[in-house]
Structure 1
Amino acid sequence: MKIAIFTDTFLPDVNGVAKTLGRLTKYLDKSHHSYIVISPKLTKNEMNAGQIYRQSSFPFPLYKDCRISVPNTLHLKEIIKKFQPDIIHVATPFSIGLAGLRLAKKYGIPVVGSYHTDFDHYLKYYHLTLLSKALWRYMEWFHQPLLRIFVPSMVTRDQLHKKGFQRLQIWQRGVDMNVFHPDYDYSVIRQKYQIKQKYILSYVGRLAPEKNVDLLPEIAKQLPPEWRNNIHWLIVGDGPSKADLTNNWQDKVTFTGFLPQKEVAHIVAASDLFIFPSETETFGNVVLEALATGTPVVAANAGGVKNIIQEGFTGKLCNSNHIDSYTNSIQTILEDAEWRKQLKQNAIRYAQKQKWEERFEELLYSYHQVIEEIKTKQKHA
């Protein structure tokens, strides 16, 4: 197959969409499918490389880590005419995604899309809920022509189904067990970050309001003193909330900033618990990665995460924004070493079944189905 991917975020961006699409392109390389990626240019002097065609972009004023692209329509037409894709996959609903939709319509190319981000839920964290109706009208309009809408979880599928979206199909995520596994030397992390406390609790992700990270220092603060004194927190990531978190955190904590995947995996593997309060995840890749290292997860009972965590089997799901729910879960797991060991084993077994290769084969099979459906319709037209 020849696949054209249109996305407003791609590597080296650090987010779930960019990482997933990066893994997809690596898999397409291995499986000898042809592809091109249309994505934003991150720096002025950035050049197109191989199958990656970068479009001019600028930071989004309200969220500077996101970029707004200005696609070169004439250039994209030439690229598409030359490449002649069998299918177009639009991964984001912004300017580059719109360009993909228009080109698919212009040249009669089958078009599918994937829904990665719960933008509506994001609005409440930026006090923009008045835009919710307009956002959904736009999202419905944008997704209406798509022959498949790939969603990462049952929660997201149900949410979109209630909004009247059609042709929904679950496409879950996988985990790289070559990187995320339990067989690390945990003492290395303790030495590197000078951790003397008995327990390590970690968080990995963007430090931003929509990830609900402001709950983390509150959770730390409300743990009983005998627990607080025995816990060291490792916070991996960066973002606009970092300054507030640093100022509000009164306990033993280390902010590592962004780290390479291997270092992230090492930290999470060395942790006794992974804490994840985000309610806006359509899936929650980092949660699955934590389970792959054998680290039980305490997370919000919301979004796609609740389709990953099996309550009491691989972790605990907490009432959203109820700090007591988090502190009780943390204490319950930490004080029961035998149960923690069982959670670890359960987590690894579950994660080992979630292979990226199988997920990508499912996606490629769906591409093939869509292409064949169009051919059949054209034959009988």
Structure 2
Amino acid sequence: MRIAIFSDTYAPEINGVAKTLKRYTNYLEARGIEYKLFVPESSTPVPTVPQVQRFTSIPFVLYPECRIALPNPLHIRQTLDDFNPSLIHIATPFNLGLFGLHYGKKHNIPMVASYHTHFDDYLEYYHLTFLQKWIWKYMSWFHRYFEKVYVPSESTREKLLSQQIHDKIELWGRGVDHSFFSPEKQTSKIREKYNIKEKNILLYVGRISPEKDVQVVLNTFHKLPEKIKKDTHLLMVGDGPLLKQLSELECEQITWTGFMEGNDLAEVYASSNVFIFPSSTETFGNVVLEAQSSGLPVIGARAGGVQHLINHGQNGFLCEPKNTQEFARYTSLLLDDCQLQQKLGDHACQFANAQSWEQIFDRLLASFEDVLKKKQRITA
């Protein structure tokens, strides 16, 4: 199997899609499967590797972590001709994806797509809802040529089916590195570093942007009963377009850390008490799984991919999207009860430990094999 992959985001960019694709290519390398990856240039310098072709790009207005590449068609065509892919996998439906689609159609190569982001939901936060109809028209046209479309959650599958994007939509879930995101990473260094004296740490990790509903996090904190609020410190971890504006609203019990990754991030997860993540636009919610793996109960929105990760009352609580009163009620319940925190946190960790990257990629590869066998039968 030789796989040509087209995406508009990839490591070292920090977002769920980029991280997943990096895991994916690591898996392919470990299995000895040949691939070529076509992606935009990174905003930070990266070493050149032969499997990865990078192209000049500009930020995508709705999601700057996703970059619109300005590909060199002659170079891509020559690379693909030499590589002779047996399967084309398109992860994002923009410039590079369009080129991959055109090449696959022209050369009758089996193609699959993966769907990662609800761009239609983002439009509401940027006052561009009039574009929703056109986005779905484009998505419907773009995906009609694929053998299968892969999505990270059941709710995403249902949404695409309702929009008649494709009739063969399969789940491609997500895993977590249990040894890296672990309760064992708990440390007092976090409290010392950020001068946290309160008993509880309420944590948010994610992009500081409108579509993540970060204002719900702040409103929830301020609505906590005074006796709980005075013993709670809110830690906001992440970067994004709202960071400068929101971080200027001074409050001694709120710390904005900016972007964080690696062991520092793992220690922050493990050293907090409760994780709050109100975003209702997620197709999955990687940070939720990371928090759970770190032993944290999670309070999230009953929407999108997050709702499939939280078993209400067992490893966290689900709230109606944007319902600050409900978020504050369940946050108070957890912050006020150490035993409940521990119980739900243990269940969250058990759930996360069952989400294995290896098994997830094994299933994806088996599905690819089915696509290739079907194509062989048709052309035989």
Task: Give the equivalent residue in structure 2 for 1:346.
Answer: 347
Shift in Å, 1:257: 1.2
- Helix, strand or coil at the partner of 2:56: strand
Pair 1:115 & 2:115 matched: yes
Structure-1 separation of matches of 2:337 and 2:186: 23
User: How do residues 294-333 of structure 1 correspond to structure 2 at under 5 angstroms?
Assistant: 294-333=295-334
Range moving further from structure 2, 2-11 or 46-55? 46-55
Task: Give the equivalent residue in structure 1 for 2:180.
Answer: 179
User: How do residues 131-280 of structure 1 correspond to structure 2 at under 5 angstroms?
Assistant: 131-164=131-164, 165-248=166-249, 250-280=251-281
Shift in Å, 1:67: 1.8
Task: Give the equivalent residue in structure 1 for 2:8.
Answer: 8
- The 1:44–1:13 alpha-carbon spacing in structure 2 relative to 1, beyond 3 Å, is closer
Structure-1 separation of matches of 2:45 and 2:173: 35
Q: For 1:259-293, what per-residue CA distance to the aligned partner results, in whole angstroms no more than 9, with x for missing partners?
A: 12321111011111001010100000110111001
Pair 1:94 & 2:94 matched: yes
Structure-1 separation of matches of 2:141 and 2:250: 43
Structure-1 separation of matches of 2:222 and 2:187: 26
Q: For 1:58-95, what per-residue CA distance to the aligned partner results, in whole angstroms no more than 9, with x for missing partners?
A: 22355544321111111111111111111110000111
Structure-2 separation of matches of 1:362 and 1:242: 39
Shift in Å, 1:244: 2.6
Structure-2 separation of matches of 1:78 and 1:369: 28
Q: For 1:107-131, what per-residue CA distance to the aligned partner results, in whole angstroms no more than 9, with x for missing partners?
A: 1111001000011111100000000
Structure-1 separation of matches of 2:10 and 2:378: 34
8 Å Cα contact 1:208/1:239 also seen in 2: yes
Matched-pair identity in % = 43
Shift in Å, 1:229: 1.2
Structure-2 separation of matches of 1:235 and 1:270: 14
Letter aligned with residue 97 of structure 2: G
Task: Give the equivalent residue in structure 2 for 1:57.
Answer: 57
8 Å Cα contact 2:7/2:92 also seen in 1: yes
Structure-2 separation of matches of 1:335 and 1:61: 41
- The 1:65–1:351 alpha-carbon spacing in structure 2 relative to 1, beyond 3 Å, is closer
8 Å Cα contact 2:62/2:122 also seen in 1: no
Which segments of 5 or more consecutive residues in structure 1 lack a partner in the other structure?
none
8 Å Cα contact 2:237/2:260 also seen in 1: yes
Structure-2 separation of matches of 1:368 and 1:62: 35
Q: CA RMSD in A?
A: 1.5
Structure-2 separation of matches of 1:125 and 1:55: 29
Structure-2 separation of matches of 1:251 and 1:134: 45
Letter aligned with residue 299 of structure 2: V
- Helix, strand or coil at the partner of 2:74: helix
Q: For 1:38-59, what per-residue CA distance to the aligned partner results, in whole angstroms no more than 9, with x for missing partners?
A: 0001359877422100112122
Letter aligned with residue 311 of structure 2: Q
- The 1:98–1:46 alpha-carbon spacing in structure 2 relative to 1, beyond 3 Å, is same
Give aligned pairs, total.
379
- The two structures have a TM-score, normalised by structure 1, of 0.96
- The 1:336–1:46 alpha-carbon spacing in structure 2 relative to 1, beyond 3 Å, is closer
Structure-2 separation of matches of 1:214 and 1:224: 18
Structure-1 separation of matches of 2:188 and 2:249: 28
Structure-2 separation of matches of 1:117 and 1:45: 25
8 Å Cα contact 2:2/2:85 also seen in 1: yes
Task: Give the equivalent residue in structure 1 for 2:27.
Answer: 27
- Helix, strand or coil at the partner of 2:26: helix
Q: For 1:9-50, what per-residue CA distance to the aligned partner results, in whole angstroms no more than 9, with x for missing partners?
A: 111111111110001111111111111110001359877422
Letter aligned with residue 60 of structure 2: F
Which segments of 5 or more consecutive residues in structure 2 lack a partner in the other structure?
none
Letter aligned with residue 364 of structure 2: L
Shift in Å, 1:210: 0.7
Range moving further from structure 2, 188-197 or 298-307? 188-197
8 Å Cα contact 2:152/2:284 also seen in 1: yes
Range moving further from structure 2, 40-49 or 369-378? 40-49
Letter aligned with residue 297 of structure 1: V
Q: For 1:161-209, what per-residue CA distance to the aligned partner results, in whole angstroms no more than 9, with x for missing partners?
A: 1111211001110011121111123212112222110000111111111
8 Å Cα contact 2:14/2:65 also seen in 1: no
8 Å Cα contact 2:228/2:335 also seen in 1: no
User: How do residues 33-72 of structure 1 correspond to structure 2 at under 5 angstroms?
Assistant: 33-42=33-42, 48-61=48-61, 63-72=63-72
